[in-house]
């Protein structure tokens, strides 16, 4: 899963500038949210909250930064869980 997070970071669209309803952004957000929820449900809820803020022009820049932070936290949680030998959550 660590590779998934690396790939998501490399392929991340410019969330602060692009239309959050565009196909490119929606596809990326859906993949990222699935990866985050697969590691930690609470982080998935946080991701969803900031995803909704992308629709508000006044919140878009902060929301895009928070989405990156949430994705990075999920990647760190995944690495810690793998190192500790903990099983991953089943895919939803």
| Cα(21)–Cα(17) distance, integer angstroms | 12
pLDDT (tens digit per residue) in 32-81: 999 999 999 999 999 999 999 999 999 999 999 999 999 999 999 999 99
pLDDT (tens digit per residue) in 15-44: 999 999 999 999 999 999 999 999 999 999
CA 7 to chain centre: 12
Smallest CA-to-CA distance from 33 within 57, 58, 55, 52 is with: 52
0.85 surpassed by pTM: yes
| Cα(81)–Cα(65) distance, integer angstroms | 24
Q: Counting Cβ atoms within 10 Å, is residue 54 exposed (0-12), middle (13-18) or buried (19+)? A: buried
């Amino acid at each position: 899963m660590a590779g998934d997070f690396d790939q998501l970071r490399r392929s991340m669209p410019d969330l602060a500038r692009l239309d959050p309803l565009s196909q490119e952004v929606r596809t990326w957000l859906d993949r990222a949210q699935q990866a985050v929820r697969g590691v930690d449900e609470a982080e998935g809820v946080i991701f969803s909250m900031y995803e909704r803020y992308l629709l508000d022009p006044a919140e878009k820049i902060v929301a895009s930064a928070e989405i990156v932070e949430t994705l990075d936290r999920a990647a760190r949680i995944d690495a810690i869980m793998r190192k500790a030998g903990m099983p991953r959550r089943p895919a939803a």
